[in-house]
Amino acid sequence: MTSDESEHRGNRNDTLLARHPSPITRHQLPIGVFDSGVGGLTVLRALRQQLPHESFIYLGDTARLPYGTKSAESVVRYSVQAASYLVACGVKYLVVACNTASSVALAPLRERFAPLPVVGVIEPGAQAACDSSRSGHIAVIATEGTIRGGAYQREIASRAAHTKVVVQACSLFVALAEEGWTEGEIVQATAQRYLGEVLASDREIDTLLLGCTHFPVLRRTLESVVGPKIKIVDSAATTAAFLAADLPARALAASGSGLGSIRMLATDSAERFARVGSLFLSEPVSADRVELIDLATRPLS
Ligand code: DGL
């Protein structure tokens, strides 16, 4: 924890509880979701599919993307700032829709914002991979930060001790996905370069886990590179399924039968967020709907 964070720990839990409405109305609050950019919209899409009556506030820290090449200390600081903003908006649940942030910031976020429930995407992703693999040989691709932190390796080992996990950092995939380049020669060659050696190193791999929320938009290209014998899984659907069970268990499920709303926040370029975000969310996002916010100069709540 940085000195910046510990300074603000104080009576945080009391402050949060005072700010939140009573438990009777808390279930009507939106769910806060954040990522370093638009990648987390692949998780939001799954959340919307499984929880259509819930409302969401999505925050993409586009000004500071990528998180995947930054130090753990910076990622924790950025994550606390993003989460503080969402908490100040009033949310009932926090989804860390970024593997890099989930791998290093989950514990500090849970501690800081308790009793607010906080879920990351690493545990659901590891579960999805273990559920999929028959051979017990799994390849995980993610950002440099996620791979370095070893969170997937630990989570998979804790579920299936004898599983063999091969990991590969694929930092360029983030830039390609943010550029909207999901198919074609360049993506194909990049995928071949990253995955060729990994797959050749273990012929028994039957599952490829996309350990970065930016990667699902590259799925078609990845499928063509790995071939039909390897199943590709990601954490979006399992994270949504986890919330679908956990919200009612905590008496936090939205009541009512109408469609929930989405509020979108970004820290840089509403136009770019909308353009690329449409691809990740699989529905049009209009730049007018994207609110620009500044996290870097905002005091922590
Ligand atoms: N979407 C982030 C993740 O899931 C990575 C992108 C980045 O490097 O910021 O890890």
Residue 127: CATH number of its domain:
3.40.50.1860
Ligand 1 atom with the shortest distance to the CA of 174: 6
Same domain for 15 and 107: yes
Q: Are residues 93 and 136 in the same domain?
A: no
Given this model, what pLDDT does residue 247 score? Answer: 98
Are residues 243 and 205 located together in one domain of the fold?
no
Residue 128: HSE in the Cβ half-sphere, 13 Å Cα cutoff = 25
Mutation pick for ligand 1 pocket among 61, 64, 67 (CB with most ligand atoms within 8 Å):
67
Same-domain status, 98 and 129: no
Query: SS3 of 123, please?
Result: helix
pLDDT of residue 5: 41
Two tokens at 123? 């545990």
Q: Is residue 73 part of a domain?
A: yes
Residues 115 and 242 occupy one common structural domain = yes
Cα(255) to centroid of ligand 1, in Å?
33
Q: How far is CA 21 from CA 16, 17, 18, 89, in A?
A: 10, 8, 8, 12
**Ligand 1 pocket, Cβ-based, cut-off 6 angstroms:** 35-37, 39, 65-68, 98-100, 143, 146, 174, 212-214
Last residue of a domain, one of 218, 235, 252: 235
Q: At what angle do helices 72-89 and 99-113 cross, to 10 degrees?
A: 60
Distance 173 CA to ligand 1 centre (A): 10
User: Mutate which of 78, 143, 152, 279 to test ligand 1's pocket (most atoms within 8 Å of Cβ)?
Assistant: 143
What's residue 296's pLDDT?
Answer: 78
Q: What percentage of the chain has pLDDT greater than the value 90?
A: 87
In a 3-state reduction of DSSP, which class is residue 222? helix
> For residue 101, which atom of ligand 1 is closest to its CA?
10
Would 300 be classed as within a structural domain? no
Mean pLDDT of the chain: 91
Query: What are 68-105's pLDDT values in tens digits?
Result: 999 999 999 999 999 999 999 999 999 999 999 999 99
SS3 call for 32: strand
The answer to whether residue 186 is domain-embedded is yes
Which secondary-structure segment (H or E) carries 218? none
Residue 225 sits in the same domain as residue 266: no
**Residue 146: pLDDT over 90:** yes
Provide the residue range defining the domain that includes 91: 3-120+238-292
Q: Name the DSSP letter for residue 130.
A: H
> How far apart are the CA of 11 and the centre of ligand 1, in A?
31
How many other C-beta atoms can be found within 10 angstroms of the C-beta atom of residue 108? 19
188 found inside a domain: yes
Average pLDDT, integer, range 195-212: 96
* Residue 180 falls in which region: left (phi positive, over 0), alpha (psi -120 to 50) or beta: left
Atom of ligand 1 nearest to the CA of 68: 8
CA of 251 to the centre of ligand 1 (A): 31
Considering the domain architecture, whether residues 257 and 167 belong to the same structural domain is answered as no
Total number of domains in the chain: 2
> From atom 7 of ligand 1, which residue's Cα is the shortest distance away?
66
Ligand 1 atom at shortest distance from the alpha carbon of 70: 8
**pLDDT of 178 over the 90 cut:** no
pLDDT of residue 19: 55
- Name all contacts of 280-289 with Cβ < 8 Å and 24+ positions apart: 280/38, 280/39, 280/41, 280/42, 280/45, 280/177, 280/217, 281/41, 281/42, 281/44, 281/45, 282/45, 283/45, 289/264
Domain boundary among 235, 255, 276: 235
For residue 7, is pLDDT > 90? Answer: no
User: Would you say residue 298 lies in a domain?
Assistant: no
Q: What is the DSSP string of 35-104?
A: ESSSTTHHHHHHHHHH-TT--EEEEE-TTT---TTS-HHHHHHHHHHHHHHHHHH--SEEEE--HHHHHH
Q: What is the predicted pLDDT for the residue at 20?
A: 55
CB 86, CB 32: distance < 8 Å: yes
**15 and 113 housed in the same domain:** yes
Based on the domain organization, do 188 and 207 belong to the same domain? yes
Q: Is residue 139 part of a domain?
A: yes
Query: Under DSSP, is residue 160 helix (H, G, I), strand (E, B) or coil?
Result: coil
Same domain, 116 and 245: yes
pLDDT band for position 133 (cuts 50, 70, 90): very high
Together in a domain, 76 and 215? no
Per the domain annotation, does 297 fall within a domain? no
**For residue 56, how many other CB atoms are within 10 A of its CB?**
20
**Domain boundary pick from 235, 252, 277:** 235
Pair (97, 19) in one structural domain: yes
* Catalytic residue IDs: 98, 212
Distance CA 112, CA 273 (A): 29
Is residue 299 included in any domain, yes or no? no
